[in-house]
Structure formats: structure tokens, C-alpha cells
């Protein structure tokens, strides 16, 4: 319908998680209407750190019509009810950030105010006792939430932990079935239009020239197109999130399959533990100013609960965001658009968000600057919201054991975060914003879990008589516990629902990304 | 109850609907935890002058919070139903309904208007209102309360109420007093302040009574007796972009109740509105006083209303703009004292409701500290977005002739609004910012009603073959027609459901 004609060829550069998620989604959306090509090089490894997800991934998979059981079996996936944070507020502390609410509002007032009121009156019950996903997670139970809104079983959501390399492979199959053409090769040259600002073609090692109307840069940290060719610029956020390296290694599973990811704060960063069906993914995200890679690797290897299944790999990164994630006819998705450490499992989510926005704002041949303008506006907000949420984890600490934590505890914060913290600390109010993937319960979980406990509760919470409140809370605690106990064991549920083919044939087979 | 230092006393200054909405909501919510006292200046009962309130759907939830039964409310306030606002003459010969409800339904994850855009591009004539149940029913003069069933086409529509302002105010007073609010009649002669700018007490005129409180609510309307006059908080004046700051109103008899719609006509120096009640209708001309004098305005309104004018003409003034910090120290401005937008979008009570709800959710335990900042941020954003929507009516108007419309056509458009309009114009993207007071549909209806179509539809909407889109849209339209056909004539619905106005002495 446009005078300018449609986009005829989309070229995706890079075949990691971002590349294949993009290819799959575009093939779903625009199958048969444009050529979609993906160029990847086996010489260049993929990062595949984002093995843990947040519940938003359901909408991505559902839209593409992906069958959950098949997808989980083929990616060695497990269920995830939240993330456990250890040693963050203080060494020895632990809390779980659940995918679900704590209790439900009473008389329009958030449940946490009532919990707080009881706590100030001397009731030591932790907030977590009122969260079904937390109680279930610690019992290693899992069951998909119920649709019936009245049921306590509807008060949570869930995500997955999976092998990102296998997810990419799964989506590659999906995309190729829908006409995406994969080309293997290493890009040696990028041709930019003489007036600058748009990419005309990329040249492969063998001399093949691939032209396109729209290029999606999924080339990873280096930003082959968006940065190296178009010089979009980069906003460095390391003064707020000083970790700049990670070392990763898989190990064998020992013990039960826990339905949650674990993030343990360490002396110079934090360690992840992501349980999959066939192995456990481990890593140490650290700050190289304070500890070198070999020492960090040693810390990580010592912490493994089972024999390691591959050699540890070290990654370097610069936390921050591309100044313009969409520039001209080039859209950066994945690590080429920016990097936020996977502390809250947002890597895949940010990819998904970029894809959703790209589809909604998909340009025609005219490349109206309005498309990029809105894309960048929305993505900037989302990146900043996630960034602030991550910074909170580092800053809300009483740790004084290393210079790293001294820095994090005392560093200047973004204004919006200072504001959120003050508002919560003073009166338990969550500052309201429209955008941002983490909703009130997530902020409450981290605040309370890291000892940012409000000084006062909402005065209207006093309208509920004390004895009635105490009775209500007691009943809720009991119901949560009973409901959690009625849920099946996580591993048993998986073995019935979505076992990976290798599940019963030992767990030594690793599939590196 | 142990004394935990909570706020024990609240004084509200004002006697209009703003003040009594605040008093009712505070007394109902606080469960007797603090005393609420209303200081009612003798000449402040603005609402008593025969205004009719055209409200928005969220007010129904507010009424429910206050325990006001909707049927009783309608009977007591000569209420009628509202399925939207009909805008007339905002472009030559144009009229459209801004509905309380959706256009069509999301299909395959794509907003409905994207398919309308696509269909239209094939050369088919498209009337967007045909795909909106609220608009189709309103056009037919029909109304029936929609079903709650989310699978029913009826759930795509909601409704609001038209209420007699004076009677609504009386009901609010009743609720507030029943829940413990006390009232003192008298003007505020003096406001005593601390060095840091907190209010310590009010001194009443005549009696000289000294009235102290922990928290003062300024509900005095645009006068802003406390926040403006006493505390000197600056007023950010938006009348350069929204100059219609004066209003003349009158009532006329209405023998035959018409469509469940508020009507808003573009006029030579502003706009005129007509709000139907049972037995009468309230008409107003909201105009630019720099270009039109009161007498001419009243004359124009009389002419527009036709023969029967039942009440005398009354004048009022309210500039669009906002207090820079509507909450300062221990003084919270709500409603028009916090900010006002010329009520093209029926936002007057809506903004009052919203400021009250925000005050409730941020009600200070002791000395306000972090609360004012959050309140000011939320209220400020909301007022700016309401301002943008009002400006959008002028910015998209296609009228020629006259100084007023010439000025409107050349007025500057705030950046966030310009972005919204250009995003819609490029491919139908509806942008929402933080704390939008009205739903996306309000914007969509405005654009479509003004004949502004996106240059292209979203790429995803071009996927399905055009015949299946056509069929799909035809089905939607048929379902809507059928649902609208099953509704009763507006007046009949009111009679059949025993909602006829109780006679008022």
C-alpha cells in the first residue's frame, strides 16, 4: 500500500540466540512476503549466557505457536519459579525473587503493608511465607498455574531454564522450515551508502556479496554493523554496574532439581547456578578491577557441586547500551544493542522486546525515521528500567568485606533509583511507571530481601482490626503451605511432561553452545 | 489503638464537588482513624448553579467505593447514561463519537484499527464507528448495561453517567457526614504558616476561630485558597495553548431524552456542549475571553440552544494550567486547585477523582516527606497528558475562518504530543506515556473522527489475504449491529429499570 514498496530482503547477521529468535519471529510474522537471510559463522562462537528466562517468554513462544512440551524436551529445559539470591544484603542472607505476588491487596492496599504492620508489632513471619511460588520452590515442587482467578494456584507465573544453544537450534529449525535461508560465512566487509547511515551489503570471506533492505545486527558485543560500520556509539554504565567479566562452566547435576535459578553474591561479583535437565550451568560474574580471571575461575571451580563437563570459558563485556539501537536500516538486537549482566535473567527478554517492537514498527522501503525514533525511545526506557533494578541488588547491601562491595554500597545512583528507594524505605510505596518488565512484587522482593524495609506502612492498613488481620494472615500461610505441598515434585513433573531424550540415559552428554 | 503518631486531623477547604468528593472518600477510607472537617466558604458552592456533570467510566468505581448505589444515584441526580461524546463540526461537516469502549477487537495480536487502515487502502469506504459497539448503540439512541462476560461483544463497551452537579454534591455531603465529616461554614480570613511554609492554622472570618490540623486539603477549585493564595505555589498557565478559560451555562427543558451522549460542537470562539439529564439538558459555551465578550457568548449560546431556556445564564472562569507543586508541606491541592484542563474530554471530575485516589494511596503517616514528590510527579504527568489530549483536538481540527481558529492552527504543539501524532500518522502506533488519564481509544477516536488515517498499516496487518480481512471485519460489524439492536431506547431503559428521577423540591 505504500508508494515506496515493502522491505524485500532482511539480512540477519549472527546466529546466536538473538539471531535465531529474530529469524524465527520474522519468519512467523512475514513468511512469504520477504526474503529473510541469516548469516552465521561457525568460527565465531556464541555467548549463550542467557540460559534463564523470565515469564514474558511465554508470549514469544505462544505467538510463534511453539509447543511447550516439545520445546522443553529439546532444550533440556526445567521450570523456574524465581531466583534465589544469597549473600546479597549480608553474608548469610537468602531470599527468593518469585514470579508471583505476595498475598493479595486488602481494601485496595498492598499486602506488604499488612505484613509490615504485623512485623512492626513483633510478628517475625517472613514475607516469603505468603508467596506460593517461593514456598513451592523451596520444596522443589512445580505445577503450572491454574486459570481460575479465585484459586491460589493462579497467583504465580513461571519461566524456563534451558540451554540457549539448543534453543537457538530449535528456533533455527523453526525458521528454516518457514523459508529463512541460512548462509554460513564470515563477514569481511560491510558496505555503507556513500551518504552514510545505511548499510547496502555485506561481503563474505569467499567474496559473496549479500544485499538487503534491512539489516539486523545480532553479531554480539562487537556490533559489527551498528557500531563498526555505523558508529552508533555506546553508553558505558560500568560506574553503576562495575562487573565486566564472567567465567562460565557446566557441571553435573548432584541432588534434586530445584525449580529456580540461584545468584550467590561473592567477594567481587556473583555466581549463577542454573539447573537444566542434563547439567547445571555455572558462572562467576566478576569485576576485573578487583580479581583476575584465573582467580575468579578458581573461585568458580571450587564452588561447583558436581564434576565439570567442559573447560571454563571467560567472557569480557562492557555494561551499557548502544546510543541508538536502530540506526538507518540497521537494528541491533541482543548483545550488539547493549549488555546487562544476567542477574535477573533479562538477556533473552531484552531480545524478545526488541523483536516485538521491530515487528510492530516494521518499516517499509522508505525507512521512515519515525520507526527508529519510537523503537529507540521504548528500548531506552526498558534498558534503563532493567539497569536500575540490577543496580538495586548491588547497592542495597550491608556488605563491607571487600573494596568491591564498599564501592557498590556507596556509589552514586541514577536519580530514578534513588527516588524509588526513598519512597519504599519511607512508606512502602512503589513508584509507579508505565514501562519496565519488573512489576511491584519484584521490587518488593528485592527491597525486603535486601533489608530495605519500610519505616512505616500505609496508614489506611489500620482500618483492618488487628485480630482479624492476624487470623487472615495465619490462614493464608497455612493455605500457601498446604497448596505447595499438594504440588508434584519438580523432577517428577518434568519426567512425565517434557523429558529430554537423554534424560534417562545418564547426564554426561553436554551440548555446548 | 496505640498512638503511632499518625495524622489525626484533616481539614478540607472548599464547598464544591471537589471538596465533598475528597471529604467522602477520606472519611469512608480512614475508618475513623482521623477527623475530617470541611471549611465551607459561604460563596463557594459553585456546583449549586445548575451544572451538569459529564463524567467518565472510572467515576463509577469511585461511587462504588463511597457506597453510592448506582441506581439510587441516577434517580437522585436525574442521571442519564453516557456511551461517549459526540464531537460536531471539528472539521467541516464532520461529526464523530468518542466512545466509552473499544473499536473492534485485537485480531492476531494486531490492533483493530490496523485492519481498518488496510481495508480502506483498498478503496473500500470505512466508517470506523460501525465497528464500535458503544458508538453504534449511541447513534441509535440505545442503551443497555453491558454484560460482564469477557467473551461477549458487549464487554467491549462500558459507560459513564451524566449527573446533576448540585444533587451529586448533596449526595457526597450525605456520605461524608454519615461517615463522620464535620462542616464549618465560613470564609478563611487568614492562613498561619510556619517558617518552613507549613500551615499551622486557619483563622475564620467573623468568628475568628482558629482551626488547626495535621493535613490541609485545598479543594477550593481554581481559586486555590491555600496552595496558591496562602502558600504562593506558582500556577503554570497553559492558556496560551488552551485559551478557552471562560464559560457561560444555562439549562433547557428536555421533554424527550435523546441519545446517551454528551455533545461538543466546535464554535466560532471555542466550543459548546450539551449534557442531557432527565427532564433537562445543561448547555455551555466555553470560549476565549480575549476574543469574545460575555454578552456575545451568551447570545451565541442562546441561539445554539434554540427556544427553551429554563434557567438564567451563569458565567464561570477557569484557566487551563497547573500548580507547579500541588502538594507542598502539609497542604495537598486536589481537583481544580491542583490543575485544570478545559473539559473537552469530560476530565473535570475525572482529574478530581484521580488526585483524591492518589492522595489516598500516598496518605502520609506523619509529617509528609517523600509523599509530596510522588504525588506531584503523578499529578503533574497526568495533567500534562490531559492537556495534550485537549490540545490534540485543536491541533487536528480542520476549520477555517476567524481569529480563534487561525490562532489554534498555528499554536505550538508540545513535544510529547507531536511524537504521538506523528507515530499515529506514520503507521497507526498509539503511544502512551506514564499516567495517561484516558485510554488509547480516546486518542484513536479523535484521530479517526477527524479523518486522520495512518499513511500505512502495521506490517503484520498486511499478512492475511484481503478477503479474509474483509470477511473478518464484516463479521465484527454484524455482531456489533446485532448487539446494538438488542438494546433498549435510552429513555425506555431508564423507565423500565425504575431509574426515573425522583422529584426534587
Q: Which residues pair with B317 in a beta bridge?
A: B246
**First-to-last CA distance in chain A?**
42
Quote the CA–CA distance of B485 and A272 in Å, as a whole number. Answer: 61
Mutate to test the interface with B, among A7, A10, A432 (most CBs of B within 10 A): A432
Q: What is the pLDDT of residues A151-196, one digit of tens each?
A: 999 999 999 999 999 999 999 999 999 999 999 999 999 999 988 7
Q: Is residue A106 part of a domain?
A: no
Indicate if A167 and A311 belong to the same structural domain.
no
Residue ranges covered by each domain of chain B: 9-80+163-238+321-385, 101-158+398-491, 246-317
Q: What is the pLDDT of residues B145-203, one digit of tens each?
A: 998 888 888 889 999 999 999 999 999 999 999 999 999 999 999 999 999 889 999 99
Q: How close B461 gets to chain A, by Cα (Å)?
A: 10
Query: Counting one residue from A and one from B, how many pairs have CB atoms under 8 Å apart?
Result: 99
Closest CA to B273 of B79, B90, B492, B16: B90
The reply to whether residue B426 touches residue A63, judged by beta carbons under 8 angstroms, is no
Mean pLDDT of chain B: 93
Q: Is residue A279 part of a domain?
A: yes
**First-to-last CA distance in chain B?**
44
Indicate if A264 and A230 belong to the same structural domain.
no
Quote the CA–CA distance of B20 and B7 in Å, as a whole number. Answer: 20
Q: Is B456 on the interface with A (CB under 8 A)?
A: yes
User: Has residue B4 got a pLDDT over 70?
Assistant: no
Q: Is B121 on the interface with A (CB under 8 A)?
A: yes
Cβ-based contacts of B463 with chain A (< 8 Å): 29-30, 33
User: Has residue B505 got a pLDDT over 60?
Assistant: no
- Among chain B residues, the shortest Cα distance to A372 is held by B423
Cβ-based contacts of A459 with chain B (< 8 Å): 6-7, 30, 33, 363-365
Cβ-based contacts of A460 with chain B (< 8 Å): 29-31, 33, 360, 363
Rama region for A367: left / alpha / beta (φ>0; ψ in -120 to 50; rest): left
- Among chain A residues, the shortest Cα distance to B455 is held by A2
Q: What is the pLDDT of residues A404-453, one digit of tens each?
A: 999 999 999 999 999 999 999 999 999 988 888 899 999 999 999 999 99
- Strand A338-339 relative to strand A187-192, pairing: unpaired
Cβ-based contacts of A427 with chain B (< 8 Å): 362, 364-365, 370-371
- Supply the range of the domain harboring residue A369: 9-51+163-236+319-377
The reply to whether residue B365 touches residue A2, judged by beta carbons under 8 angstroms, is no
Q: What is the pLDDT of residues A291-314, one digit of tens each?
A: 999 999 999 999 999 999 999 999
Q: Which residues pair with B80 in a beta bridge?
A: B162
Q: Is residue A171 part of a domain?
A: yes
Give strand ranges (E) for A252-312: 261-266, 269-275, 280-286
pLDDT at B296: 97
Q: What is the 3-state secondary structure (H, E, C) of A341-374?
A: CHHHCCHHHHHHHHHHHHHHCCCCCCCCHHHHHH
Contact B349/B356 with Cβ under 8 angstroms? no
Contact A435/B435 with Cβ under 8 angstroms? no
H helices within A288-346, ranges in order? 293-303
Mutate to test the interface with A, among B459, B460, B469 (most CBs of A within 10 A): B459
- pLDDT band at residue B107 under the 50/70/90 scheme: confident
Q: What is the pLDDT of residues A119-129, one digit of tens each?
A: 999 999 999 99
pLDDT at A513: 34
pLDDT at A196: 77
Q: What is the pLDDT of residues A25-48, one digit of tens each?
A: 999 999 999 999 999 998 766 655
The reply to whether residue B456 touches residue A1, judged by beta carbons under 8 angstroms, is yes
User: Has residue B442 got a pLDDT over 50?
Assistant: yes
Element (H, E) at B467: helix B466-485
Quote the CA–CA distance of A173 and A177 in Å, as a whole number. Answer: 6
Sequence-distant (6+) residues with CB within 8 A of A385 are A433, A435, A436, A437, A438
Considering only the beta carbons, identify the residue of A30, A368, A434 that sits closest to B426.
A368
Quote the CA–CA distance of B293 and A157 in Å, as a whole number. Answer: 61
- Strand A82-86 relative to strand A261-266, pairing: parallel
Closest CA to B14 of B34, B36, B35, B43: B43
Indicate if A206 and A263 belong to the same structural domain.
no
Contact B329/B196 with Cβ under 8 angstroms? yes
Mean pLDDT, residues B25-42 taken together: 92
Exactly one of A80, A117, A143, A324 is catalytic; name it.
A80
pLDDT at A113: 96
Mean pLDDT of chain A: 93
Quote the CA–CA distance of A445 and B60 in Å, as a whole number. Answer: 33
Rama region for A235: left / alpha / beta (φ>0; ψ in -120 to 50; rest): beta
> Tell me: domain B9-80+163-238+321-385, CATH 3.40.50.2300, correct?
no
Sequence-distant (6+) residues with CB within 8 A of B184 are B37, B38, B39, B40, B204, B209, B211
Indicate if A327 and A310 belong to the same structural domain.
no
Quote the CA–CA distance of A161 and A78 in Å, as a whole number. Answer: 5
Task: Indicate which CATH number applies to the domain containing A222.
Answer: 3.50.50.60
Domain limit, last residue, from A316, A338, A366: A316
Mutate to test the interface with B, among A110, A427, A463, A464 (most CBs of B within 10 A): A427
Rounded to two decimals, the pTM is: 0.94
DSSP B157-226: B--EEEEEHHHHHHHHHHHHHHTT-EEEE--EEEEEE-TTS-EEEEEETTT--EEE-SEEEE-SGGG-II
User: Has residue B48 got a pLDDT over 80?
Assistant: no
All three cell numbers of A305, joined, read 557441586
Q: Is residue A115 part of a domain?
A: no
Mean pLDDT, residues A1-12 taken together: 78
Q: Is residue A107 part of a domain?
A: no
Burial-class residue A455 by CB neighbours within 10 Å (0-12, 13-18, 19+). middle
Contact B24/B176 with Cβ under 8 angstroms? yes
Share of chain A above pLDDT 70, in %: 96
- Which residues numbered 361-380 in A keep a CB inside 8 Å of some CB on B? 361-362, 364, 368, 370-371, 373-374, 377
Report residue A361: phi and psi, to 5°: -105, 20
Give strand ranges (E) for A126-279: 159-161, 181-184, 187-192, 199-204, 209-211, 214-217, 234-236, 245-251, 261-266, 269-275
Q: What is the pLDDT of residues B379-416, one digit of tens each?
A: 999 999 999 999 999 999 989 889 999 999 988 999 99
Mutate to test the interface with A, among B65, B360, B374 (most CBs of A within 10 A): B374
Domain limit, last residue, from A280, A298, A316: A316
- Which residues numbered 278-337 in A keep a CB inside 8 Å of some CB on B? none
Cβ-based contacts of A432 with chain B (< 8 Å): 378, 434-435
Sign, CA torsion B290/B294/B298/B303: negative
- Among chain B residues, the shortest Cα distance to A421 is held by B370
- pLDDT band at residue B86 under the 50/70/90 scheme: very high
Indicate if A167 and A299 belong to the same structural domain.
no
The reply to whether residue B463 touches residue A456, judged by beta carbons under 8 angstroms, is no
Considering only the beta carbons, identify the residue of A30, A374, A459 that sits closest to B6.
A459
Higher pLDDT among residues A51 and A98, named by residue: A98
The reply to whether residue A33 touches residue B455, judged by beta carbons under 8 angstroms, is no
User: Has residue B47 got a pLDDT over 50?
Assistant: no
Q: Is residue A209 part of a domain?
A: yes
pLDDT at A506: 42
User: Has residue B374 got a pLDDT over 80?
Assistant: yes
pLDDT at B249: 93
How many separate domains does chain A show?
2
To the nearest 10°, report the CA torsion of A513, A233, A57, A278. Answer: 20
A324 is catalytic: no
All three cell numbers of A364, joined, read 517499509
All three cell numbers of B128, joined, read 470506523
Q: Is A63 on the interface with B (CB under 8 A)?
A: yes
Share of chain A above pLDDT 90, in %: 89
Cβ-based contacts of B358 with chain A (< 8 Å): none
Q: How close A97 gets to chain B, by Cα (Å)?
A: 25
User: Has residue B71 got a pLDDT over 70?
Assistant: yes
- Among chain A residues, the shortest Cα distance to B118 is held by A1
Q: Is residue A73 part of a domain?
A: no
Considering only the beta carbons, identify the residue of B30, B121, B427 that sits closest to A460.
B30
pLDDT at B50: 67
Amino acid at each position: 500500500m505504500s508508494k515506496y514498496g515493502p522491505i524485500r530482503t532482511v539480512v540477519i547477521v549472527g546466529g546466536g540466540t538473538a539471531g535465531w529468535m529474530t529469524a524465527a519471529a520474522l519468519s512467523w510474522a512475514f513468511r512469504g512476503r520477504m526474503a529473510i537471510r541469516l548469516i552465521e559463522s561457525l568460527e565465531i562462537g556464541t555467548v549463550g549466557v542467557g540460559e534463564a528466562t523470565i515469564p514474558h517468554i511465554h508470549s514469544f513462544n505462544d505467538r510463534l505457536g511453539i509447543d511447550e512440551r516439545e520445546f522443553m524436551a529439546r532444550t533440556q529445559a526445567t521450570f523456574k519459579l524465581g531466583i534465589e539470591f544469597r549473600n546479597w544484603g549480608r553474608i548469610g542472607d537468602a531470599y527468593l525473587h518469585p514470579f508471583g505476588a505476595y498475598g493479595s491487596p486488602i481494601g485496595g492496599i498492598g499486602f506488604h503493608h499488612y505484613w509490615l504492620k504485623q512485623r512492626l508489632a513483633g510478628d517475625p513471619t517472613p514475607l516469603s511465607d505468603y508467596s506460593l511460588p517461593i514456598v513451592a520452590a523451596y520444596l522443589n515442587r512445580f505445577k503450572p498455574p491454574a486459570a481460575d482467578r479465585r484459586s491460589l494456584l493462579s497467583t504465580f507465573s513461571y519461566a524456563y531454564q534451558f540451554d540457549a544453544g539448543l534453543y537457538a537450534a530449535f528456533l533455527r529449525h523453526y525458521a528454516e522450515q518457514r523459508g529463512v535461508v541460512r548462509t554460513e560465512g564470515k563477514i569481511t566487509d560491510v558496505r555503507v551508502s556513500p551518504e552514510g547511515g545505511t548499510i547496502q551489503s555485506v561481503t563474505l570471506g569467499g567474496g559473496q556479496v549479500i544485499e538487503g533492505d534491512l539489516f539486523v545486527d545480532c553479531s554480539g558485543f562487537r556490533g559489527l554493523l551498528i557500531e563498526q560500520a555505523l558508529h552508533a556509539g555506546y553508553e558505558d554504565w560500568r560506574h553503576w554496574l562495575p562487573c565486566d567479566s564472567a567465567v562460565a562452566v557446566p557441571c553435573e547435576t548432584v541432588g534434586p532439581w530445584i525449580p529456580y535459578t540461584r545468584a550467590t553474591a561473592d567477594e567481587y561479583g556473583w555466581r549463577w547456578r542454573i539447573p537444566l535437565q542434563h547439567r547445571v550451568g555455572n558462572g562467576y560474574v566478576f569485576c576485573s578491577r578487583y580479581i583476575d580471571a584465573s582467580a575468579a575461575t578458581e573461585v568458580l571451580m571450587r564452588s561447583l557441586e558436581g564434576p565439570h563437563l567442559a573447560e571454563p570459558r571467560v567472557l569480557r563485556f562492557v555494561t551499557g547500551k548502544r546510543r541508538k539501537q536502530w540506526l538507518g536500516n540497521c537494528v541491533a538486537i541482543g548483545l550488539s544493542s547493549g549488555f546487562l549482566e544476567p542477574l535477573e535473567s533479562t538477556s533473552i527478554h531484552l531480545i524478545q522486546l526488541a523483536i516485538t517492537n521491530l515487528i510492530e514498527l516494521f518499516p517499509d522501503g522508505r525507512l521512515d525515521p519515525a520507526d527508529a525514533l519510537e523503537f529507540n525511545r521504548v528500548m531506552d526506557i526498558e534498558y534503563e528500567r532493567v539497569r536500575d533494578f540490577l543496580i538495586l541488588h548491588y547497592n542495597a547491601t550491608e556488605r563491607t568485606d571487600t573494596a568491591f562491595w564498599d564501592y557498590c554500597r556507596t556509589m552514586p545512583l541514577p536519580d530514578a533509583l534513588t527516588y524509588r528507594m526513598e519512597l519504599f524505605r519511607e512508606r512502602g510505596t512503589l513508584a509507579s511507571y508505565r514501562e519496565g518488565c519488573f512489576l511491584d512484587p519484584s521490587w518488593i522482593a528485592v527491597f525486603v530481601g535486601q533489608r530495605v524495609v519500610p519505616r512505616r506502612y500505609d496508614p489506611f492498613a489500620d482500618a483492618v482490626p488487628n485480630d482479624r488481620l492476624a487470623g487472615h494472615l495465619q490462614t493464608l500461610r497455612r493455605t500457601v503451605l498446604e497448596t505447595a505441598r499438594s504440588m508434584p515434585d519438580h523432577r517428577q513433573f518434568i519426567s512425565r511432561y517434557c523429558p529430554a531424550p537423554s534424560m534417562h540415559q545418564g547426564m554426561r552428554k553436554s551440548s555446548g553452545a | 489503638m496505640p498512638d503511632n503518631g499518625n495524622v489525626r486531623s484533616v481539614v478540607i477547604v472548599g464547598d464544591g464537588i471537589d471538596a465533598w468528593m475528597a471529604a467522602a472518600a477520606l472519611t469512608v477510607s480512614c475508618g475513623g482513624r482521623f477527623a475530617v472537617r470541611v471549611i465551607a466558604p459561604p460563596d463557594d458552592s459553585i456546583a449549586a448553579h445548575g451544572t451538569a456533570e459529564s463524567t467518565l467510566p472510572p467515576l463509577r468505581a469511585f461511587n462504588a467505593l463511597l457506597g453510592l448505589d448506582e441506581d439510587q444515584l441516577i434517580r437522585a441526580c436525574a442521571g442519564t447514561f453516557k456511551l461517549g461524546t459526540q464531537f460536531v463540526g471539528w472539521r467541516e461537516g464532520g461529526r464523530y463519537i468518542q466512545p466509552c469502549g473499544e473499536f473492534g477487537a485485537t485480531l492476531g495480536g494486531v490492533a483493530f484499527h490496523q485492519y481498518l487502515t488496510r481495508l480502506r487502502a483498498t478503496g473500500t469506504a470505512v466508517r470506523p464507528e460501525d465497528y464500535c459497539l458503544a458508538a453504534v448503540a449511541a447513534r441509535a439512541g440505545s442503551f443497555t448495561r453491558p454484560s460482564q462476560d469477557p467473551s461477549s461483544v458487549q464487554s467491549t463497551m462500558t459507560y459513564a453517567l451524566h449527573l446533576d452537579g448540585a444533587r451529586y454534591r448533596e449526595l457526597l455531603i450525605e456520605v461524608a457526614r454519615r461517615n463522620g465529616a464535620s462542616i464549618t461554614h465560613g470564609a478563611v480570613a487568614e492562613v498561619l504558616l510556619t517558617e518552613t511554609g507549613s500551615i499551622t492554622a486557619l483563622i475564620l472570618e467573623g468568628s475568628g476561630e482558629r482551626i488547626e490540623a495535621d493535613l490541609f486539603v485545598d479543594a477550593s477549585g481554581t481559586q486555590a485558597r491555600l496552595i496558591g493564595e496562602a502558600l504562593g505555589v506558582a500556577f503554570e498557565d497553559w492558556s496560551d495553548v488552551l485559551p478557552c478559560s471562560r464559560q457561560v451555562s444555562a439549562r433547557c427543558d428536555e421533554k424527550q431524552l435523546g441519545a446517551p451522549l454528551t455533545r461538543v460542537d466546535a464554535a466560532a470562539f471555542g466550543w459548546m456542549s450539551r449534557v442531557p439529564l432527565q427532564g433537562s439538558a445543561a448547555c455551555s459555551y466555553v470560549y476565549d475571553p480575549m476574543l469574545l465578550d460575555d454578552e456575545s457568548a451568551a447570545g451565541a449560546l442562546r441561539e445554539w440552544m434554540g427556544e427553551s431556556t429554563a434557567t438564567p445564564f451563569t458565567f464561570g472562569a477557569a484557566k487551563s494550567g497547573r500548580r507547579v507543586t500541588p502538594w507542598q508541606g502539609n497542604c495537598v491541592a486536589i481537583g481544580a486547585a491542583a490543575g485544570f484542563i478545559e473539559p473537552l474530554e469530560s476530565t473535570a471530575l475525572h482529574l478530581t477523582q484521580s488526585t483524591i485516589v492518589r492522595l489516598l494511596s500516598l496518605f502520609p503517616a506523619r509529617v509528609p516527606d517523600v509523599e509530596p514528590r510522588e504525588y506531584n510527579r503523578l499529578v503533574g504527568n497526568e495533567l500534562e497528558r490531559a492537556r495534550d489530549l485537549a490540545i490534540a483536538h485543536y491541533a487536528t481540527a480542520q476549520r477555517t475562518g476567524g481569529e480563534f481558529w487561525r490562532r489554534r492552527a498555528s499554536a505550538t504543539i508540545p513535544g510529547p504530543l507531536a511524537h504521538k501524532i506523528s507515530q499515529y500518522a506514520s503507521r497507526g502506533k498509539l503511544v502512551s506515556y506514564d499516567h495517561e488519564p484516558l485510554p488509547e481509544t480516546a486518542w484513536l477516536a479523535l484521530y479517526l473522527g477527524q479523518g486522520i488515517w495512518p499513511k500505512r498499516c502495521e506490517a503484520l496487518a498486511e499478512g492475511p489475504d484481503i478477503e479474509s480481512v474483509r470477511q473478518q471485519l464484516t463479521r465484527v460489524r454484524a455482531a456489533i449491529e446485532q448487539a446494538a439492536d438488542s438494546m433498549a431506547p435510552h429513555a425506555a431503559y431508564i423507565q423500565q429499570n425504575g431509574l426515573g428521577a425522583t422529584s426534587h423540591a
